[in-house]
Chains A and B, each alone.
Chain A
Amino acid sequence: MDEMSTNIYLPHLMVIEKITNEAPGVKTFRLKFKDEQEGEAFQFKAGQFGEYSAFGEGESTFCIASSPTRKGYIECTFRQAGRVTTGLSKLEEGNTIGFRGPFGNTFPMEEWKGKNILFVAGGIALPPMRCVIWNALDTRENFKNITIVYGAKSVNDLVYKEELKEWDERPDVNLITTVDPGGETPDWKGKVGFVPSVLEAVAPDSENTIAVVCGPPIMIKFTFPVLEKLGFKDENIYTTLENRMKCGVGKCGRCNVGKLYVCKDGPVFTKAQLNDLPPEY
């Protein structure tokens, strides 16, 4: 099919292979391409996102939460919030949904070879990072120390609970989980405190380290100053932006911030790039 005849708004058909209930209102879908050839040809890089269709409701933007090193399926994690996510939440294994992608830029993991990586995430923002984390762990020899600081409102709200266990058990990963004060259960063994303060207490070394931060705006707002205090330079702090999106290909204008389109020039940005953007995201 030549490029001129490709319908960029037409989704691939995907079958829901597995649904995992991560937390109240939060689900992970494991998706297989209905057309096996499409599945085999499909490639993406860490950080990219897709537009997922619930036919009859519309499309919603989620990152591709699985790693590109794992073939045969892609995963997305979402919270039920509006019309489309409610439609998706009603679906069962075996149902068909749509997927357009991969869109957007990627985490430049090639440039991070030989460095330490610090992951900082909050709540439902772990999914975009999970892709990078798995990618890094699958190519573990490329990186030095890997530290993950992840927190959520309460123990129940932590996503990827099984994987957190796996990461915790690995000797080559330093995982620190925390819940907000009041969110702990009697048998909770992790930390208690907001992510920025826990990060400050853990005080990872900023020397030769890349920081990848993802979370709700309020968490980011308080995490950036902590990273600055710890000596992280703005060019070495990465984050993914969320903005309202529809087309995903830089045409509908919705995600336009300053000169950039979050769907084309992002969603991965360094803090240095964010500093130049008008505060419209």
Chain B
Amino acid sequence: MNNLGRTAAQLLEEKSVALVLGFEEGSKGPRPFFCRKAEDAGRLILDERCNHNLATYLTKKELIGTDRVALTAHLPALRTILQLSAENQLSEDRLIVLTTNEKGEAVRFDRFEEISQYLADRPLELDPSDQKLIADLRKMTREERWNFWMAEMNKCVKCYACRAACPLCYCTRCVVEVNCPQWVQSWSAPLTNMEWQINRVMHMAGRCVGCGACKRACPVGIPIHLLTQSMMEDLNNEFGVVPGTPNEAGNVLSTYKVEDKENFIK
């Protein structure tokens, strides 16, 4: 059993946690694994293939309830945990976070401040190939860019896997699930699919940590992560929001000051 497994087994044996949320080997690579028994801890793995953002499960009350849990996190998940904590969705006393650093050593965080410090040396770097794609998109004319995205939206089936996989989409009643009034039509058609994505990206403003879960979840391969990533670039340029860390000045969408510049309103 590797280090991680031993730590997890110990936590379960001494009943420090009711559940270790980690990865196991699945039928096509690593998949989420809910380890509740010490003897199963040997199945836990954490390597560079483990890229699903397990923090998605932390806000599922029916799975976690009020139990104390441990979670094995990769870098994006660590960022997510800080963002969730900034949004009052997590309690430090009920979460132990485990990770492995670049040297393969097991690291354990009991306090969110510890995660902050760990991440301070590891700033979010946007994927260069994605950055190139975004740059290419920005070079297009508005019409070309619209046509590109509408062609992508034509493939969308409104399965909402992007929403389900995103750890920061935790609303118990999503805006598309409201029918009085029906803000976004629920069926799949290019324009209304675009409306859904615009909605999603706006709601991710300043919150997205660039984990890419949305892109990987999409069954038809739409590069929707480019939308949230370009949003991150915009926020950095316009408001100085550092991508991937909770904004100290407050949540971008819901914090307002009278002095906020409005020069983008034409």
Complex Cα distance, B101 from A62, in Å, reads 61
Question: CB-CB contacts of A230-257 with B at 8 A, as 1s and 0s?
Answer: 0000000000000000000000000000
Q: Separation in Å of the B237 CB from the closest CB of chain A?
A: 41
A86–B180 Cα gap in the complex (Å)? 10
Q: Is B179 an interface residue (CB 8 A)?
A: yes
**Considering the chains assembled together, what is the distance between the CA atoms of A82 and B181 in angstroms?**
10
Measured between beta carbons, the chain A residues less than 8 angstroms from B179 are: 82-83
**Within the complex, what minimum Cβ distance (angstroms) separates B186 from chain A?**
11
> How distant is the Cα of A82 from the Cα of B180 in the complex, in angstroms?
8
Complex formed: what's the CA distance from A82 to B177 in Å? 13
User: In the complex, what residue of chain B is closest to A87 when comparing beta carbons?
Assistant: B180
Once bound together, how far apart are the Cα atoms of A117 and B179, in whole Å? 41
CA distance A8 to B233 in the complex (A): 51
Which residues of A (85-102) have their CB < 8 Å from a CB of B?
86
A86 to B182, CA, bound (A): 14
Instruction: Mark out the residues of chain A between 13 and 41 whose CB falls within 8 Å of any chain B CB in the assembled complex.
Output: none
Residue on A with the closest CB to B182? A83
1/0 per residue A192-217: CB within 8 Å of B? 00000000000000000000000000
> From residue 224 to 260 of chain B, which have CB atoms closer than 8 A to chain A?
none
Shortest beta-carbon distance from B68 to chain A in Å: 32
Find chain B residues with CB under 8 A from A83 CB: 179-180, 182
CA distance A172 to B204 in the complex (A): 67
Query: What is the total number of residues of chain A having a CB less than 8 Å from a CB of chain B?
Result: 3
Contacts of B182 in A (CB 8 A): 83
Bound-complex Cα distance A83 to B179 (A): 7
Specify which chain B residues have a CB less than 8 angstroms from the CB of A86 in the assembled complex. 180
A252 CB to nearest chain B CB (Å): 13
A135 to B179: give the CA distance in the assembly, Å: 37
The CA-CA distance from A145 to B140 in the complex, in Å, is 81
Taken together as a complex, chains A and B put the C-alpha atoms of A265 and B179 apart, in Å, by: 29
Encode B172-190 as 1/0 by CB contact (under 8 A) with A.
Answer: 0000000110100000000
CA gap between A276 and B182 in the complex, in Å: 38
Cα(A82)–Cα(B179), bound, Å: 9
CB distance from A87 to the nearest CB of B (A): 10
Nearest Cβ distance between residue A247 and chain B, in whole angstroms? 15
Inter-chain CA distance A238–B182, complex, in Å, is 38
> Considering the complex, which residues of chain A in the window 41-97 have a beta carbon less than 8 Å from any beta carbon of chain B?
82-83, 86
> In the complex, A38→B180 CA distance in Å?
33
Contacts of B180 in A (CB 8 A): 82-83, 86
- Chain B positions 104-144 with a Cβ under 8 Å from a chain A Cβ: none
State A83–B180 Cα separation when bound (angstroms). 6
User: How far is it, in angstroms, between the C-alpha of A82 and the C-alpha of B182 when the chains are bound?
Assistant: 12
Task: Give, as a whole number of angstroms, the nearest-CB distance from B180 to chain A.
Answer: 5
- B250 → chain A, closest Cβ, in Å? 35
Query: A230 CA to B182 CA in the complex, in Å?
Result: 49
With A and B bound together, what is the CA distance between A86 and B179 in angstroms? 12
For B178, give the chain A residue with the smallest CB separation.
A83
Chain A, Cβ-Cβ closest to B179: A83
Closest residue to B181 on the A side, CB-wise? Answer: A83
Chain A window 151-165, contacts with chain B (Cβ cutoff 8 Å), 1 for yes, 0 for no:
000000000000000
Which single residue of chain A is at the shortest CB-CB distance from B180?
A83
Question: In whole angstroms, how far apart are the Cα atoms of A83 and B186 in the complex?
Answer: 15
Binary CB contact string for chain B from 160 to 177 against chain A (1 if under 8 A, 0 otherwise): 000000000000000000
User: How many Å lie between the Cα of A180 and that of B179 in the bound state?
Assistant: 33
Contacts of A82 in B (CB 8 A): 179-180
Closest-CB distance, B182 to chain A (whole angstroms)? 8
Complex-state Cα separation, A88 to B145, whole angstroms = 43
CA separation between A44 and B179, bound complex, in Å?
A: 32
State in angstroms the CA–CA spacing of A135 and B3 once bound together: 75
Cβ-closest chain B residue relative to A84: B179
CA distance A207 to B54 in the complex (A): 61
In the complex, what distance in Å separates the CA atom of A2 from the CA atom of B179? 36
Residue on B nearest A86 in the bound complex, by CB: B180
Distance in Å: Cβ of A79 to nearest Cβ of chain B: 15
B125 → chain A closest CB, angstroms: 46
Measured CA separation A86–B181 after assembly (Å): 11
* Cβ-closest chain B residue relative to A58: B179
In the bound complex, what is the Cα–Cα distance between A83 and B178 (angstroms)? 10
A107 to B182, CA, bound (A): 37
A91 to B182, CA, bound (A): 20
Interchain nearest-CB distance for B54 vs A (Å): 30
User: Which residues B168-225 have CB closer than 8 A to chain A?
Assistant: 179-180, 182
Chain B contact residues, CB within 8 Å of chain A: 179-180, 182
**6 pairs from A and B in contact (CB 8 Å cutoff):** A82-B179, A82-B180, A83-B179, A83-B180, A83-B182, A86-B180
**Contact surface of A with B, Cβ cutoff 8 Å:** 82-83, 86
Closest CB pairs A-B (n = 3): A83-B180, A83-B179, A82-B180
